[in-house]
Amino acid sequence: MKAEFPEKRPRKETAGAVRNKERTRQKLINAVGSVLKEKGYAGISIPNIIAKAKVDRRLIYTYFGGLDNLVEEYLNSQDYWMTKVAPQVQEIAFKSEHFGEKQIVEILHTLYDAVDISPDLQKMILWQISEYHDKLRALVDKREELGKPLFEATDKDFNGSDINLRAIMAVQIAGIYYLNLHAKSNRSTFCEIELNSEEGKNAIKEALETMVKLVYEKAVK
């Protein structure tokens, strides 16, 4: 008769092991951000990341399955748009009965301030326009989905007019991105506006408001 032995059960991770794993994961995610800030998107590589995180390179594969997934984790955790801006945009959009001129201005101002204060968002915008990356494209697509219901809510305001609000806001948002990147990189004036001063920032925000107001006035006419 064969001796019976108790069935072996998978060994549970201890609380300490779980904490160590999470700390290491976070070190790797943070290392992506550090490399991006110091070396730019071209510096995102396994050797640079492990040198910054000071961990074994095998842990990138153990915890993330590879470099692309690690980059995706970083982008999702640091994407200021989806974590900070998107909730604010949704609150602006749905807290009022009518979505229109006032709410569009509020969203543009919110976006301007968000880009102004977030180096991570600035770096990601620069990365997005500099090279194609599947994970960056996924984030851009999410942002596009966020904008669809907002545009649909304003379509009725421009029925019968030749105004393309989508094109107008594309120019405004692109301007917000570029002016903030220019201000942080060159620290020079732009059209004689000191973009890093509160006076300059307010001037740009007033211009954004004026453009939206003129668009709505033209639609009424």
CATH number of the structural domain spanning residue 180: 1.10.357
For position 29, which CATH number holds?
1.10.10.60
pTM exceeds cut of 0.75: no
Q: Which of 33, 61, 77 is the last residue of a domain?
A: 77
Which structural domain range is residue 38 located in? Answer: 15-77
Condensed to tens digits (0 to 9), the pLDDT of residues 164-192 reads 999 999 999 999 999 999 999 888 899 99
pLDDT digits (tens, 9 = 90+) for 183-217: 998 888 999 999 999 999 999 999 999 999 999 99
Across 9-23, b (16+ Cβ under 10 Å) vs e yields eeeeeeeeeeeeeee
Same domain for 46 and 87, yes or no, is no
| DSSP annotation string for 19-47 | HHHHHHHHHHHHHHHHHHHHH-GGG--HH
Retrieve residue 119's tokens: 């180096």
For residue 14, what pLDDT is reported?
A: 65
Q: How many domains does the chain have?
A: 2
Choosing from 77, 97, 128, the residue where a domain stops is 77
Residues 48 and 106 in one domain: no
Residue 1 pLDDT more than 90?
Answer: no
User: What is the DSSP code string of 51-87?
Assistant: HHHTS-THHHHHHHSSHHHHHHHHHHHH-HIIIIIHH
